[in-house]
Amino acid sequence: LCAVLSIHSLNYSAHRKVGRIRRYFLKAMLHQDISWHDTQNTGAFATKFTDSLDKIQEGIGEKVGTFTYLVTTFVASVVVSMFYGWELTLVMTAICPVFVIVTVLVARVQTLLTTEETDSYGDAGAVVEEVLSNIRTVMAYGGEDKEVDRYKQKLSPAKKVGIKSGVYLGLGGGTSWMLVFFAYSLAFWYGTPLILADRGRPHSVYTPGVLLIILFGVVSGATHLGFCAPHLEAFAKARGAYKSVTSVLSRRPIIDVSSGGVRLDCPLGDIEFRDVHFTYPARPDVKILKGISFKVKAGESVALVGGSGSGKSTTIQLLERFYDPDSGSVTVSGVDLRSLDLKWV
């Protein structure tokens, strides 16, 4: 009954927390400036975000209760063993730090590999979204096999990461079981002389029964400690996934909608561009505006003429303050656009 209540409560709590993170994330994403959205791959970003939240929910759910049970069992086993024979218990618990070191190393490696795996799945998801949204074109040109190969290519890094992850988990599990059998050998090697030394005494501390109690107590505790490794892996994955989410939650947009600013009493003023230089964040090597300057008086109509990529629409986007110029200024009624309240603009 307690286990059912524990699992239900932790999973319910994890579901609520992840739901709260979703709301905060959506709010943070909608408040980001256009330059940030230009540098994001929409499909990869959505896939990465969904995968990250699944890992976070797994890491803060029922595994927390199971991990607590495993650690508590380890502590209780050691305490009981110490009660029956502290000397032999101390000798056998020498293997416990090795258990901890192995599990911590595996968890750290998993944290690094999880980040790489999430990025790879995000790129592969972007390919799927692109193909499905243009499925008519793909089928018209017979590009199914080509797109499948492209999808496999994007998944290739995830496959390599999965192989590495399996190797490290295998090494960690193998080392844990090696330590268990080493504990058996250590118990008989050190415990047998203690039993022989206590033989014939009126109040013997060490007997074959005590040896078995301590042996199975410490081994059981160490085994439960070793079972913590998969849960630490889940915690490590959740930690790595949370880092990718917080990179958006903690980012302050260059152009903040909620920052406030000046509101003009008369919005119908002159518009002036003064030596404006600009490049798009997604294409920093292509300069769109190179020192453009002009003035539009209130009520005046002006036509912007030029070839494709000459900066006509860019000028309007700067006026709407989707972006800020790299240098120079855009003013309305003599007030720099960056000083005005963006919601009012």
Its domain, for residue 313, covers 261-339
| CATH number of residue 239's parent domain | 1.20.1560.10
Which of the 8 DSSP states describes residue 252?
P
| Mean per-residue pLDDT, 54-68 | 87
Single residue among 202, 225, 249 that ends a domain in this structure = 249
The answer on 204 and 272 residing in a single domain is: no
Same-domain status, 74 and 193: yes
pLDDT reported for residue 266: 66
Question: Do 56 and 168 belong to one domain?
Answer: yes
Q: What is the pTM of this model?
A: 0.58
Question: In terms of DSSP H, where are the helices of the chain?
Answer: 2-30, 34-38, 42-59, 62-84, 86-92, 96-133, 135-140, 144-198, 208-226, 228-249, 312-319
Q: Specify if 69 maps to a domain.
A: yes
Out of 171-175, 258-262, 275-279, 327-331, pick the least confident. 258-262
Helix (H) or strand (E) holding 331: strand 327-332
Of all helices (H) and strands (E), which one includes residue 288? strand 287-296
Q: Is residue 36 part of a domain?
A: yes
Among residues 293, 287, 275, 272, which one has the least CA distance to residue 335? 272
Last residue of a domain, one of 249, 273, 298: 249
Verify that 213 and 296 share a domain, yes or no.
no
Give per-residue pLDDT as tens, 212-230: 888 888 888 877 877 777 7
Measured CA to CA, the distance from residue 326 to residue 317 in angstroms comes to: 14
CATH number, domain with residue 302: 3.40.50.300
Total tally of structural domains belonging to the chain: 2
Q: Half-sphere exposure of 277 toward its Cβ, with a 13 Å CA cutoff?
A: 9
Does the residue 165 lie in any domain?
yes
CB 284 within 8 A of CB 297: no
Instruction: For residue range 102-141, list pLDDT tens digits in order.
Output: 777 777 777 778 777 777 887 888 888 888 888 888 888 8
Asked whether 287 and 277 are in contact (CB, 8 A), the reply is: yes
- Average pLDDT value over all residues in the chain: 81
* Burial class of 335 by CB neighbour count within 10 A (0 to 12, 13 to 18, 19+): middle
Average pLDDT value for residue range 1-19: 86
Give the H/E segment covering residue 277. strand 271-279
pLDDT at position 258 is 65
Do 237 and 121 fall into the same domain?
yes
pLDDT above 70 (res 268): no
Paired residues of 278 in beta bridges: 289
**Residue-level pLDDT at 259:** 62
Averaged pLDDT for residues 304-323: 83
Query: CB atoms < 10 A from the CB of 8, how many?
Result: 11
